[in-house]
Amino acid sequence: MNSVSKQAIDTLIHARWVIPVVPSGAVLEQHSIAIHNKKIIALCPTANANERYTAEQEFALDTHAVIPGLVNTHGHSPMVLLRGIADDVPLQEWLEQRIWPLEGKFVSREFVQQGTSLAMAEMIASGTTTFADNYFFPDEVAKVAQHTQMRVQLACPVLDFPTAWAQDADEYIRKATQLHDDFRTSDFVYTAFGPHAPYTVSDGPLEKIVVLADELDIPIHMHVHENAKEVSDAVASDGRRPIKRLHELGLISPRMVCVHATQLVKTEMELLAELGANVVHCPESNLKLASGFCETAKLKQHGVNTALGTDGGASNNDLDMFGEMQTAAMLAKAVAEDASALPAHEALEMATINGARAMGMDSFIGSLEVDKFADITAVDMDALNTLPMHNPLSHLVYACKASQVSHVWCGGRLLYQDGELQTLDVIAIKQQASQWLKKMAGA
């Protein structure tokens, strides 16, 4: 085939290994990804790609594994500005005595915009291309995402009490609905309802959210069964465990994203599986706050889609999905007392396609497949800690460091290359972080 007959495309990525995630466990050696108009148009052997395509940009990643952009399915991105400020205390004390007072004093549009910029920079540099965010002033998060060209699903907060963002549940819901209308045509900004937790949102608003989520066809993203105290307090209050109450209100469905879920009994796992609800596992945040263990092996056995999230930078304290994959895989084995629980390929699925599925976005992100957006992360495996290369998929989960991420694309747009962010100003972000440190000194 001569050059005249080659198809002109935007980008060709040639990699030592392509790990598409779908089909499960596949590792394609010496393969290439062809990208045009934001989407993947082909995955094929590199020799074949060179015969078929001519590209405006071409990348020869001879020592790299190329994977889908990672999907961080739960977080509170502006809270990176509170990183390290309230460590080593239990969840209720951390939340009620430290975090909520600090947020009451400092949260503003500027706080959210600048905190989100820092969080997105950290996430992109560690291979994440899509994240779910549950925080105040979500419209500011949306603006940063649009500018950065990174995908976000805004799990717009809903609470019964006033904050800097809204005064009551009706206002939170009204603003969430407006945001959905504002960004319905965006490739980068998606929406969900984010009722904070069963203990902070009463029945009326939850019933209203169920109806609106169906009408708008969007998820409901909620902290559920985060620790034992939440469950025991609920039982003492009205005689029901939170999952039972949420089920009776109509929330348990394929739209439901249950975050943390460290306190599920067998019948609750069966219920989530039967009704198609999702779980987001945040292993490092759960460990740090001693919230309990999400039993991922049992959830898998019951058929519950389980994704992975970092939680916020104030309770993790980083936004590194490579670290989260490794912790999830190791923890699952210890909790199940089974070394085969959550093997490497399933941990990667939790950090990619399972997250996309929980967010209702798996038809266009989460795996390297033709017609999906070209959301791609390249990892240089030529590092001392990932040699010798017996198994690239295993190394990605058990040995790889986020610092080995070399390139990140979102919709075919290069966001990160060889240590340099392409759509964010690192110097300005560092200066802003320093200013917030001064503002919060002694708080």
* Domain at 389, CATH number: 2.30.40.10
Residues 6+ apart with CB under 8 A from 220: 192, 193, 194, 195, 209, 210, 213, 251, 255, 256, 257
CATH code of the domain covering residue 348: 3.20.20.140
Based on the domain organization, do 151 and 212 belong to the same domain? Answer: yes
Based on the domain organization, do 208 and 133 belong to the same domain? Answer: yes
The whole-number pLDDT of residue 92 equals 84
**Is residue 419 domain-resident?**
no
Last residue of a domain, one of 358, 382, 401: 358
User: DSSP label at 103?
Assistant: H
Based on the domain organization, do 185 and 320 belong to the same domain? Answer: yes
Last residue of a domain, one of 358, 382, 403: 358
Based on the domain organization, do 329 and 387 belong to the same domain? Answer: no
Whats the size of the chain, residue-wise? 443
The whole-number pLDDT of residue 3 equals 47
Answer positive or negative: Cα dihedral of 51, 53, 55, 60: negative
Based on the domain organization, do 125 and 210 belong to the same domain? Answer: yes
Based on the domain organization, do 52 and 7 belong to the same domain? Answer: yes
Based on the domain organization, do 79 and 108 belong to the same domain? Answer: yes
Long-range contacts of 103-109 (CB under 8 A, 24+ apart): 103/136, 103/163, 103/164, 104/163, 104/164, 105/443, 106/81, 106/436, 106/439, 106/440, 106/443, 107/78, 107/136, 107/137, 107/163, 107/164, 108/137, 108/164, 109/137, 109/140
Specify burial of residue 280 (Cβ count, 10 A radius: 0-12, 13-18, 19+): buried
If you write DSSP's letter for every residue of 154-216 in order, what string do you get?
A: EEEEE-SS--SS-SSHHHHHHHHHHHHHHTTT-SSEEEEEEE--TTTS-HHHHHHHHHHHHHH
Q: What are the strands, taking DSSP E only, across 215-262?
A: 220-224, 256-260
Backbone angles phi, psi at 163, to 5 degrees: -140, -175
Based on the domain organization, do 59 and 196 belong to the same domain? Answer: no
Based on the domain organization, do 46 and 102 belong to the same domain? Answer: no
The whole-number pLDDT of residue 308 equals 98
Based on the domain organization, do 379 and 236 belong to the same domain? Answer: no
**Is residue 425 domain-resident?**
no
Based on the domain organization, do 191 and 329 belong to the same domain? Answer: yes
**Is residue 157 domain-resident?**
yes
The whole-number pLDDT of residue 4 equals 61
CA distance 353 to 348: 8
**Is residue 431 domain-resident?**
no
Would you give per-residue pLDDT tens digits along the chain (443 residues)? 454 689 999 999 999 999 999 999 999 999 999 999 999 999 999 999 999 999 999 999 999 999 999 999 999 999 999 999 999 988 889 889 999 899 999 999 999 999 999 999 999 999 999 999 999 999 999 999 999 999 999 999 999 999 999 999 999 999 999 999 999 999 999 999 999 999 999 999 999 999 999 999 999 999 999 999 999 999 999 999 999 999 999 999 999 999 999 999 999 999 999 999 999 999 999 999 999 999 999 999 999 999 999 999 999 999 999 999 999 999 999 999 999 999 999 999 999 999 999 999 999 999 999 999 999 999 999 999 999 999 999 999 999 999 999 999 999 999 999 999 999 999 999 999 999 999 998 77
Q: Which domain holds residue 252?
A: 70-358
**Is residue 222 domain-resident?**
yes
CA distance 181 to 252: 25
- Within a 13 Å sphere around the CA of 150, how many CA atoms are in the beta-carbon half? 36
Name the domain count of the chain. Answer: 2
**Is residue 121 domain-resident?**
yes
Nearest one of 87, 123, 23 to 416, comparing CA atoms: 123
Could you tell me the pTM of the whole model?
0.98
Based on the domain organization, do 287 and 385 belong to the same domain? Answer: no
**Is residue 32 domain-resident?**
yes
The whole-number pLDDT of residue 1 equals 45
CA distance 335 to 296: 9
**Is residue 219 domain-resident?**
yes
